Structure 1
Amino acid sequence: MAAVNSGETQSKQRIPRDAVRKAVISLLKWKKKQMSDQKNPISGDVDDFIYLLLTLKKIPHKDFTTSPKKIPLLHSLHTSPESSPSCLIIDDRPKPNSQKLTFEYADKKIKSLGIPITRIIKLSKLKSDYRSFESKMELFNSFDVFLADRRINEMLPKILGKVFYNKKKKIPVPVELRRDGDWKEEIEKGFCSSLLWLSNGTCSVVKVGKFGAMEVEEIVDNVVAAAGGVVEVVPKKWVGLKSFHLKFFDSLALPIYQKGVKHESKT
């Protein structure tokens, strides 16, 4: 069983599940009505994710906004790793005093552990073969999930560019890929995580649920867990946090936590 961090414990105390559940149910009803009213939906333009919107008291220092933070969830946002095409980007740069991580080694390890990765791409190949906007778009559209070696995390915005990072929809999730590490556990955690990229303002969002793919209680679980994970990585933790809201990309934001406002929980 995974250890529960202090942020998640406090989020359970500060954010009542019944308040989260009411907000989730309201949003799902709104989304269902919107989908039924839309006569000619364009599937590629539909954003089915529920977002946890956090508002900080102050604009975060730039040190907090340079790279995304991995937020653990209890339930994956994807139907299953097996049914979601995935791409793993490995760091094949020569390393002092250690063996270079080759495609052959990574491919053999992935297959021997039964990890459902669709394709492995070396960092060197990513840099050489995906320079044009068109090639990056093709890569972006080929997979639902992208995972990448944690050691190259800060290099990827420059390499993948605005195709991946402007709308922040498929930013690669960082995973620890040491030769002697537990790749299976790391990649499973990657599939069951969301990314928080703190903005240059006070408001940021992190995905916590998906319409049509998750049950209400699964989304509620994710909201509580994500709130705890967020608090652990934002400046000053709970002290620096002003509020939490839930929303779809194009919906109203429903409050589930506001600083100084007490909620009475029934569950």
Structure 2
Amino acid sequence: MGKSLAVAKKGETSVVPISSEQTLKASKALLSHMQKAAKEAAASADKKNLLEESTEAETPIWLTATTKRNVRDTNKLKPGRVTLPHPLNRTDPETTICLIVADPQRFYKDVVASEEFPEALGKRITRVVDLKHLQAKFRTFEAQRKLFSEHDVFLADERIVNRLPKALGKTFFKTTAKRPVPVKLHRPDKKADGVKSTPGQKKAQKEQGSSVKHAKSAGDMAKEIEAAVGAALVHLTQTTNTAVKIGYAAFTPQQIAENAEAVVTALVEKFIPRGIDNLRAVYLKGPETAALPIWQTEELWLDGDKDVLAEGSEELKALEEKKEKANVGKKRKAPAADEQVKEEEEQVDAAAEVEKPAKKKNKKAKVDSESNDAKLDAQIKERKEKLKKQKKAAKAAMEE
């Protein structure tokens, strides 16, 4: 791809804005920093595990693109795909794949097990399940978590991918780590492309009806699955920042740079509304590194005349009046809250005043009880003295 300036000017119409030289330079600097940080972390570790394998193959490299306006009005759960010059997971034999298909699953299991399907890829596909069995077997949260942990990549027939959020729930869709990637396993029109079905597929089509009538051949399915496994995924949300994984720390700087150019081209042409005019900046970064800029625009606004209002313009005045009205509405809530607090304080004070007489009454009752005890003691003392006098008089009478 041709070189371009690192800073875009207003009105620039280049489809691929980033400079190959600048991207390669940033890739070298990023990988060098990540390798140095990994060595320092390993040297400072208290205990070294000799059996621990290198994590370079698992440390991702991200391309982040910031836009001037949100790329979408709502979050999109179906990711987009970008074919990379250097695929992410296509050649890794340890990557396990779960293939979610439309009914019936037996047809697709037979395709994966057939001789026309590549044997190496077939071994990596450890589960083939249709939507009906998926909803029946993995209804509970525990079953969904088990399925999530058993496979590295999840692929889904694009005809049913929009129904998976309800079937798989937050376990799969709260993050973008293992969201099902859409794959096209059928042909819109079998006669149009002139591809003939295998004898096994013809038999299955005859027995199972029109549900697999337009299914692709085993070889075409394998190509589609390999392309999806190695592709970069674009998750569009209601934000001005989009991150796409374009490689790993084990990649070379040249591979990172070429993947970055491919992703930026796809973002500008397919995913970002209004293309390069809406693009603000592009960065490369690792999981724990700063973002290295490889391109940025001089024009900060998408529509300068509309986004930046002139001083004293009627549109600016109308906007300020609208804000003032909104603030007035918010200020009305404060007195209501103060009145509520005041009422609560008055209720507390009233309750306290009610308790005060009760305390006085209790004190008076305590004084009364103490005075009654004193009277009783006086009566007892008086009776004792009276008995003593009676005993003394009786004793004197007996002596006479």
**Normalised by the size of structure 1, how large is the TM-score?**
0.81
Q: Which residue of 2 aligns with 1:104?
A: 106
Pair 1:24-2:27 in alignment: yes
Question: What code does the residue aligned with 1:218 have?
Answer: Q
The equivalences for 1:195-234 within 5 A come to 195-212=233-250, 214-231=251-268, 232-234=270-272
Cα distance in 2 for residues equivalent to 1:138 and 1:29: 37
- Could you say if the C-alpha distance between residues 254 and 119 of structure 1 is closer, same or farther in structure 2, counting changes exceeding 3 Å? same
Secondary structure in 2 aligned to 1:89?
Answer: strand
TM-fit CA distance, 1:245 = 0.8
Q: Deviations over 1:215-265 (max 9, x none)?
A: 32222221111111112212111111111111112211111111239xxxx
Structure with max Cα Rg: 2
Pair 1:157-2:157 in alignment: no
Q: Which residue of 2 aligns with 1:194?
A: 232
Pair 1:246-2:246 in alignment: no
Structure ranking higher on relative contact order (CA contacts 8 Å, 6+ apart): 1
Pair 1:51-2:53 in alignment: no
Secondary structure in 2 aligned to 1:118?
Answer: strand
Contact 2:75 2:238 in 1 (8 A): no
Cα distance in 1 for residues equivalent to 2:80 and 2:223: 18
Cα distance in 2 for residues equivalent to 1:65 and 1:25: 33
Percent sequence identity over matched residues? 31
Cα distance in 1 for residues equivalent to 2:174 and 2:40: 29
Off by >3 Å, runs of 4+ in structure 1: 40-43, 63-66
Q: Number of paired residues?
A: 239
Question: Where do 5+ consecutive residues of structure 1 fail to align?
Answer: 1-8, 93-101, 262-267
TM-fit CA distance, 1:184 = 2.0
- Could you say if the C-alpha distance between residues 61 and 250 of structure 1 is closer, same or farther in structure 2, counting changes exceeding 3 Å? same
Q: Which residue of 1 aligns with 2:71?
A: 60
Contact 1:81 1:191 in 2 (8 A): no
Q: Which residue of 2 aligns with 1:176?
A: 184
Question: Where do 5+ consecutive residues of structure 2 fail to align?
Answer: 1-13, 187-213, 300-400
Contact 2:23 2:294 in 1 (8 A): yes
- Could you say if the C-alpha distance between residues 163 and 35 of structure 1 is closer, same or farther in structure 2, counting changes exceeding 3 Å? farther
Moved more, 137-146 or 55-64: 55-64
Question: What code does the residue aligned with 1:248 have?
Answer: G
Cα distance in 1 for residues equivalent to 2:35 and 2:174: 28
Pair 1:119-2:127 in alignment: yes
- Could you say if the C-alpha distance between residues 41 and 257 of structure 1 is closer, same or farther in structure 2, counting changes exceeding 3 Å? farther
Question: What code does the residue aligned with 2:93 have?
Answer: E
- Could you say if the C-alpha distance between residues 48 and 89 of structure 1 is closer, same or farther in structure 2, counting changes exceeding 3 Å? same
- Could you say if the C-alpha distance between residues 151 and 125 of structure 1 is closer, same or farther in structure 2, counting changes exceeding 3 Å? same
Q: Which residue of 1 aligns with 2:80?
A: 69
The structure in which a higher percent of residues are strand is 1
Cα distance in 2 for residues equivalent to 1:180 and 1:209: 32
Contact 1:74 1:192 in 2 (8 A): no
**Normalised by the size of structure 2, how large is the TM-score?**
0.55
Contact 1:48 1:210 in 2 (8 A): yes
The structure in which a higher percent of residues are helix is 2
Moved more, 144-153 or 29-38: 29-38
Q: Deviations over 1:134-184 (max 9, x none)?
A: 222222221121111011222222322222222211111110011432212
Question: What code does the residue aligned with 1:87 have?
Answer: C
Contact 2:85 2:258 in 1 (8 A): yes
Q: Which residue of 1 aligns with 2:391?
A: none
